[in-house]
């Protein structure tokens, strides 16, 4: 399956690498040219256990490109939107 993941931050990069490790062809897009350059060298931009070794194993199935205003996308067949939960402060709350 061909998959595009928009954003290669903490959530997007991990999703891209995991999907590529399951033998999907993944294109990771990000608008930060420095991050894209680092990822193209095969270097993880975040700290996550085993991420670097998974990136190395999936390097033939994971491409990272810079997203620009002219980037075109294929029709969306499925969309994922992860939610990030934050620990709420419980002091002074009922």
pLDDT at 80: 60
pLDDT at 70: 73
pLDDT at 79: 58
pLDDT at 53: 96
3-class DSSP state of 70: coil
**78, 84, 7, 74: which is closest to 46 by C-alpha?**
7
Ordered mean pLDDT values, 10 residues apiece, the chain (94 residues)? 90 93 92 95 95 95 87 61 52 50
pLDDT at 68: 78
Which of left, alpha, beta for 57 (phi over 0: left; psi -120 to 50: alpha)?
alpha
pLDDT at 1: 86
pLDDT at 37: 97
Q: Which residue has the tokens 């085993």?
A: 50
């Amino acid at each position: 399956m061909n998959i595009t993941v928009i954003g290669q931050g903490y959530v997007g990069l991990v999703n891209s690498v995991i999907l590529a490790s399951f033998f999907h062809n993944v294109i990771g897009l990000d608008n930060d040219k420095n991050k894209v350059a680092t990822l193209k060298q095969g270097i993880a931009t975040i700290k996550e256990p085993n991420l670097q070794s998974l990136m190395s194993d999936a390097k033939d199935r994971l491409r990272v490109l810079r997203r620009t205003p002219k980037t075109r996308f294929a029709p969306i067949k499925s969309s994922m939107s992860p939610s990030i939960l934050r620990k709420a402060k419980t002091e002074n709350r009922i």
